[in-house]
Structure 1
Amino acid sequence: MAAERLVVVGGGTMGAGIAYVAAGAGYAVELVEVDPARAGAAVETLRARWDKAVGQGRTTADDAAAALGRLRTVGSLGEVAAAPAVVVEAVPERLELKRSVLREAESLRPGLLASNTSSISIGALGAVLTAPDRFCGLHFFNPVWAMALLEIVLGPDTSESTRATALDLAVRLGKDPVVVNDAPGFASSRLGVTLGLEAIRMVEDGVAAPADIDKAMTLGYRHPMGPLELTDVVGLDVRLAVAETLREAYGDRFAPPDLLVRMVAEGRLGRKTGQGFYRWVDGRRADA
């Protein structure tokens, strides 16, 4: 019997991570990425991730090879056959871009259509769909293969059957889900960005060095990672985009600090560029 098909739109960090866990869970995965170089890089990243999992004893070489064999990349949604079980949109956090992708993806008639948005209203995204009852948010966390949480976001039109399908998918992907109702930033981003922005303001005000601010949270509050290191891992550009979305929804309490805006303009985006609040080499903090 052919494996169920799951389509991920967007071959960036999050899209590749979603493809990894889906292929590992037995889905035949089609990763849609318009940039051939990025598509190739995503496949190589996932190949390396499976090799590492084999080396760590977390999977077998045969299972890793089988998962990689279930993954293929395509350059457009037009190359995807109709009626996949699931389509997950994972393109950058821009409302109109996501709407455009979701409108096109809906024409494939998937059993479940979802967005991996971390902050944009599911109702605003679903407003352009003909069947918003079959649409919800599936907010994965980075790195997808390591983070247990999956935030399922119910839009104003999301049906009970869609909610149940999303919960079943979360379990199949090995995730521990929470269900939240639609609001900009949902639960996780609204809380996480609040802490991250305040930590950046503290750096801006000269309260303490980034490492000391982070240590205060890891040792004093048992956070596994400080808010500034997490900002580097997530990407300062992503933090800025989410802050701007939340500012529009909730006002200036989410206004991005000038330091964040300046660092993004300078290309200091965190781990992916090698420099943020910390210096990174080969994906690891150089001072760690």
Structure 2
Amino acid sequence: MVRALDSIDRVGVVGAGTMGSGIAQVAATYGYDVVMRDIEETYVENGFETIAGSLERLVGDETLTESEAKAVEDRISGTTALDDLTECDIVVEAALEEIDVKRDIFADLDDIAPNETVLATNTSTLSITTIAAATERPESVVGLHFMNPVPVMKGVEVVRGEKTAEDVMHVAHAFAEDLGKETWESDDKPGFVANRILMPWINEGIRAYDEGVATKEDVDSGMKLGTNVPMGPLELADHIGLDICLHATETLHEELGDRYTPAYLLKRKVEAGDLGKKTGRGFYGHE
């Protein structure tokens, strides 16, 4: 079986949260019919609200017209039934970053998806090989790690599992590029390229602030002015979500050892419920 981009018309997305709704929006923007699935109707509705807000901003920026935005929304359908993904040519899983959750989803997808369907996971740190092993077709499973926020960020990390077929890798690259993205490839090692480098950068920025090297503002300013990045490490941590940063760093620590030990202040913030933009307070206050 040889898969190609021209065999993809219908896209399934598992998870209607920040990443899932973003992937659904971008796929629909580029002409694909999308089925967005989550476990509860409320989550699906929240996903559509997120998409509507994002499209409204794009219309306000004159990136899209109102009719184009309406067409994007019309190409996305929502469901709580996994069986509704049976006619999808590629399914991108964007559920909780927990290995057991993802393995359960892929075992279920293995039962309901046609053999030619490409099964992709948006995981940022977990093993593609371990996720793929929950299926009877590990050659069809690939990592397709979109960056947050998906409608804005240009990069997509394509990750090769131990048994990922070459044609599946080609389709993953081609699909992401057809969504206006640029891709790079990583082997199935902890954190891949992006988070293996990004998380210790964020973690060390938090340590520098906690140890009094500089104020949080100067830590961020120093990195923006010194390295030409758009956000400093503490700003970016708030944007990503401190709980997500902690979880990713703990995964890397477990796999790679002490150099990835989470900063004490990061753990304390998460325990206090100050998770960044999504809770209104992290290292900074947010409206």
Provide the rounded CA distance (Å) in 2 between the counterparts of 1:258 and 1:101: 33
Query: 1:285 aligns to what?
Result: none
Q: Is the 8 A contact 2:88 2:117 kept in 1?
A: yes
Provide the rounded CA distance (Å) in 2 between the counterparts of 1:34 and 1:182: 28
Provide the rounded CA distance (Å) in 2 between the counterparts of 1:114 and 1:140: 11
AA in 2 matched with 1:273? T
Q: Is the 8 A contact 2:241 2:275 kept in 1?
A: yes
Provide the rounded CA distance (Å) in 2 between the counterparts of 1:197 and 1:48: 31
Asked if residue 200 in structure 1 is aligned to residue 217 in structure 2, the reply is no
- Which of the numbers 65, 69, 93 marks the counterpart of 1:89? 93
Give SS of 2:278's match.
Answer: coil
Where in structure 2 are the equivalents of 1:228-239 lying within 5 Å? 228-239=234-245
- Which of the numbers 46, 57, 65 marks the counterpart of 1:60? 65
Provide the rounded CA distance (Å) in 2 between the counterparts of 1:138 and 1:131: 17
Provide the rounded CA distance (Å) in 2 between the counterparts of 1:252 and 1:61: 51
- Which of the numbers 62, 67, 70 marks the counterpart of 2:75? 70
Asked if residue 35 in structure 1 is aligned to residue 40 in structure 2, the reply is yes
Where in structure 2 are the equivalents of 1:137-216 lying within 5 Å? 137-216=143-222
Alpha-carbon distance, 1:208 to partner:
1.4
Provide the rounded CA distance (Å) in 2 between the counterparts of 1:90 and 1:252: 29
Where in structure 2 are the equivalents of 1:119-130 lying within 5 Å? 119-130=125-136
Extract unaligned runs of 5+ from structure 2.
1-7
What is the aligned length?
278
Where in structure 2 are the equivalents of 1:4-19 lying within 5 Å? 4-19=9-24
Provide the rounded CA distance (Å) in 2 between the counterparts of 1:66 and 1:248: 45
Alpha-carbon distance, 1:26 to partner:
1.1
Where in structure 2 are the equivalents of 1:92-107 lying within 5 Å? 92-107=96-111
Give SS of 1:237's match.
Answer: helix
Structure 1 residues 117-126 or 29-38, which shifts more?
29-38
Provide the rounded CA distance (Å) in 2 between the counterparts of 1:271 and 1:278: 8
Alpha-carbon distance, 1:35 to partner:
2.6
Alpha-carbon distance, 1:81 to partner:
4.4
Q: Is the 8 A contact 2:12 2:85 kept in 1?
A: no
Query: 1:135 aligns to what?
Result: 141
Q: TM-score, normalised by structure 1?
A: 0.94
Provide the rounded CA distance (Å) in 2 between the counterparts of 1:172 and 1:126: 24
Provide the rounded CA distance (Å) in 2 between the counterparts of 1:6 and 1:169: 10
Query: 2:3 aligns to what?
Result: none
Q: Is the 8 A contact 2:18 2:50 kept in 1?
A: no
